[in-house]
Structure formats: C-alpha cells, structure tokens
Chain A
C-alpha cells in the first residue's frame, strides 16, 4: 500500500504536447508509470510517442477518462490557463489532480479552491514537484511518478515524505535511500499560499496507511500549516515524525522564491514553527543534512522499525 497513488494508477497529462509536460511524461514512462493519455485541446486524435509507447491525445479530460480509464491528472499547463485546467479535471470527477505549474495567480487559486468545495477530487499543488510512489524495480522503477521529481533517487519502503519544496524533498529522499530506508509515498504539496492539499491532509493519510512506519515533514516560513499539522500529530499520531523548517535566516517581508515563503508576523517564522514542533514531540532536523537521521532518532526513541 501507499497513499494517493499506486504503481497501478492510470494517469493522464494535461499539457503533454508542451516542452515541459512532454519531457516529464517521457521520464514517467521510462520509470514505468502508467501514463495512458494526454490532453491538449485541438490535438485530439494525435499520439504522444516515446520509444515503444504510443500515448493517445484527447481534446478534453472527460474524453480521455472514458477512453483510457485514467483517474489521476498531472497538469503542466502554463499559468494563465492552469486554473481552468484544474477545474476541468474537477468537473470530470478525477480522483486526484496534481498541478505542477508554477506562477498561477493567487486569485485564480482562491476561486478554484472555492469551486472545489464539496467535490470528490483532491488537488495536490500547484507549484509542486508532484507525487511519487516508488516501485520494486531497479532504481525504484515500476512505481508511479507524477510530476517532475527524479524517480531514480527513490526506493520502495515505509517512510512517508511531505514537503512544500521540491529540491528539499529530493534531499530528504536521497538521504533516506542512501541509508537504506525506502519510501511509501513522497508528496510535494507546493510552495504557493493557496494550495489544494496541506501538510496535515497528507500526514493524516500517512497515519492511516499501514505501510507507512514513519514520516518526514518539510516546511518553510510563512503561514501556519506546519503548526496546525504538528498539533494534530501530538494528539493523534503514534508514528515517529521528523520535521525541518527552511528559512530561519530569511528577512521578514521578503518573498524567498516560493510565493508562500514570506514572513508576515511573529507566528510564521522558522523559530516559532520549530518551537511548536519540539513541543509536539516532532524530532527536529537541525540542518537539512539531518532530515533522515532525525527520523532515525525519532524511530529509535519509539522502538519503531523503519525498514
């Protein structure tokens, strides 16, 4: 088991004919992911070819779902059209939409999030690296890779990783893999202030997943999502959890790359978040080099086996 996606999940790619979407569709196919359809309005009937793969392209998401049985979408559509692409996936009733696109206006996401209320579709992202459930093959191939994460650094196993940042997720995954610890699923929730899935949403899923033995939560300055997650963990979770917060040295009021990574008040600083982590029994990684080791310490303290 894993969360959100399994190696059997059939995915479609919205924006598969663009450079970015095409490149990552090829990498996902190489990884062994079941990329069964592409969607580019106006290019229905064509095919996306890669080696022995011949992925049909459709004009709309519902058409692609009907013809291929895809239940999950990866969105690589440019920012001005990305909100519409998400809504199309929601309206079609996809189980999961993963929005990779960076730079979607905040107002568009405010409206999308409101429109999604009461709908069964889950959104991960936007501005995120995606979701990976590693496979059992060499370099974790045979898994499900949605988005832009490097597949080969993963290893099938029992650690759940959730993060706002792409490269920091890779850093954590790489540390785990080089220590022989595999991952159940790795989820990049994205660096924007309005996103579909929070740290807490993902941690609840990991907590309920019998295949996940421990978790790493990677956060940033800005907002209070990490703090909300930490308080819930304290009350509800017995699994070992390690946490890291980036941005301890970021000056207030400056946007550090991610639109969401900006210190507004006294509650959303790295120091405030780290203090809450400690208070909630989360093992804090003192540097980004310490993320996997922090989880190993947390697991040892609870007598939990991670591999």
Chain B
C-alpha cells in the first residue's frame, strides 16, 4: 500500500525524521487555513498523487509542473488553485494521469547539498538494507548505473538491529561532519525505526538535504507498506486513499480476486498468479495484448467467477476474453458453471475462449458444450491463446 507525501511526512514527524514545515488542503477554502500555518516567504506547492515525476509532469489543461516554487504565500495559493481538481500526467501515471485532490504546501528550504536515502528489503540476504548516496535529487537508478561508487549500502542484522558503528560508518562515507553528522545520525536511526516498526516495504527520501545552518531534512518522502502486515497496523490502513486506486481493482479485492488493469484488448481470467502472468505473456507472444492480470485464486467459487467477468467487462477496451484454468484441486465443473452463469448474466457478446484442464475436466467441458453458448474451447494454453488472438484481430 502506498501513501501520499503529506501523510508520509506526518509519519516522519512522529518518528523524529525532520521535514520542512508543511500543511495539506483539499479545497480552495482549505488553502487559507493551511497557508496560515506557514510563515510568509518562499513556499512550495506540491500536488499529492501516488506517482513520481510530479515536478516534470503536465496537467491535461496544459499547465506545467505538479510541484512549484513560489516567492510568496499569495502566489502559492494561486498556483494551488490551478492544480486542485486538475489531472496531472507524469512519466509514471500513464496517459490518463491522476486527478489531484490534495495540495501540500511546505516552506521552501535553502539547499546546501542534496543526498539520497532509502530503506528496503535486500532479497539476496533477506535483510533490510539502507541505501544512501551523495547524489540526491536525481534518478537513483542512473547513479547506480553510471557511478556505482557513489552508492553506499548498510545491511541490517534483524537479530541485533541497526548498530551504532554502521550508522557512523555511513555518515563518514557520505562526508557529513559537525552538526550535519549529528543530525544525519539521528535522522537515519529514526527512519530505520519507522521502517521496521510500521512494516514498511520501502521508505525513500529523494532528496535528503542539508541546509546552510546545518539542518538535515527530508525534502520528499515516499513510503509504501507490506500489504500482508496491514492487519496489525489499523492506523496505517486508515491512510489508504481509494481515489488513487482503479475502481475495478477495488471491486476485485472486495471479491478476494487479484486484478490489475493493463492497456490491451484481451481480458484474462486465470487461477494462480504464475499462470496468470504467463497467460498475459502467451497472449503477447502470439501477437495480442492482455487487458489485465486476474488471478481468481486456488479455490474460486461460482460467485467469484461471475464477479470476475463483470469486472473485466467493465474495461471498455476489452474485445475478447481468455479463460485459462488449471484446476488441480479446484473442480473444473464449478468453473464451467460459473462461466455459463456469467455469460448469461452479462449477456456477453464478445468472443470467449476457454481452456480448462485438470480435476473433473470432462464434466466441465460437457457443461460448456451443453450450455448452447458460443464458447470456443482450447486444448492447450498455446492453442487457446492463438484462438483468442485471432478472434479479436
């Protein structure tokens, strides 16, 4: 689960990670109250959406920049009015963009130098890793590729926790001295505590800055959480913003289905995550384009299959449906009954190819054949994929 920058920064403040003073607002009236909390002077206006590249983004009405520097609070209020309710398109949002529903105002800080700091899981060692760099405010992937010597890593032993010497070492490598070193030390520990205690999947500060007065501040904040651990963090779950999620994905999760919208024309309904991914791959392999990832899980019911059909048909780009089920334990006849029910319920007019294999498959195929519906049957994944690609072409 992702949260907004303003929410992440509130969490930072709770844990003692210093951030520039800021306030969020969701309406034009709210701008006044929010700005009243900040001192007069240079102010940043930041669109709050769950996607990166906001500063370089463009709004659909042509207004440029989802993050703006303003000399005065009055100017900040004007620019915020142009962003709120407007749709911001960035490198990460896709062409549809995201509607900006919250604006975050912060004091514009004097920047001496920019750094990079993140904490995430290192899969190779199964340990948390702190990644830091002297090159902040730029794409960290580029730094890692072009100047790997400027990236520093600290692997944290989960049995002992983050050790003092590790933090000291990192601070020396980053070149901090004096007050900066002391402040950075405190910040890194606080950030690790936040990462560990909240079951974060990743915390990222880019840029982390030093100021001429020796302060070390998180200028940006990106935090995501391990979905599997949300059951023990109701306070964090409350930060979920459904406006940032695809309504079809929300509907799917209400039916315990795992759905992700993509931009192709062939909808897929599959059991199992690996099979669902490779069903998308095989569609592409034979020249088609998948419209979604959809895993109905290992024990799908008739109701879930019907719900799944309704969700995938909610995507106007869909021109055909590919059902790929390997019913190991799951009864193929249950799936077949669900398909027949769904096709009748929604009055399906689009081509449908079904590949059923596994437990009670003969009964499942008979149910499909006796339904009187136009359902194309595929023998193998490859055969079925070729058929659906041909039908939507």
Contact = CB atoms under 8 A, between A and B. Distances in A.
B292 to A, nearest CB: 11
Contact of B278 (A153, A168, A266): A168
Given A248-B284, A265-B141, A287-B382, A163 B329 contact: no
Interface in A224-265: 224-225, 228, 244, 246-251, 253-261, 265
Interface residues of B, number: 54
Interface in A187-226: 191, 193-194, 218, 220-225
Which 8 A-B residue pairs are closest in the complex by CB-CB distance? A165-B274, A257-B273, A167-B272, A150-B328, A105-B229, A289-B382, A167-B275, A168-B274
Given A167-B326, A256-B260, A257-B277, A249 B231 contact: no
11 contacts: A27-B329, A79-B228, A111-B158, A113-B126, A165-B272, A194-B126, A225-B123, A249-B281, A250-B277, A261-B277, A288-B278
B124 interface: yes
Nearest to A111: B158
Given A220-B274, A266-B141, A286-B285, 18 more contacts: A79-B231, A106-B201, A106-B228, A110-B158, A114-B127, A153-B358, A165-B277, A228-B124, A246-B275, A247-B277, A249-B262, A249-B281, A250-B280, A257-B273, A258-B274, A287-B282, A287-B285, A290-B382
B157 interface: yes
A80 B124 contact: no
A223 B329 CA distance: 29
A92 interface: no
Interface string A98-133: 000001111111110111000000000000000000
B385 to A, nearest CB: 8
B43 to A, nearest CB: 31
B260 A171 contact: no
Interface of B: 92, 121, 123-124, 126-128, 141, 157-159, 196, 199, 201, 226-229, 231-232, 258, 260, 262, 270-285, 290, 293, 295, 298, 326, 328-329, 357-359, 380-383, 385
A109 B276 CA distance: 25
A168 B272 CA distance: 8
Q: Is the interface of B mostly helix, strand, loop or mixed?
A: mixed
A288 B381 contact: yes
A155 interface: no
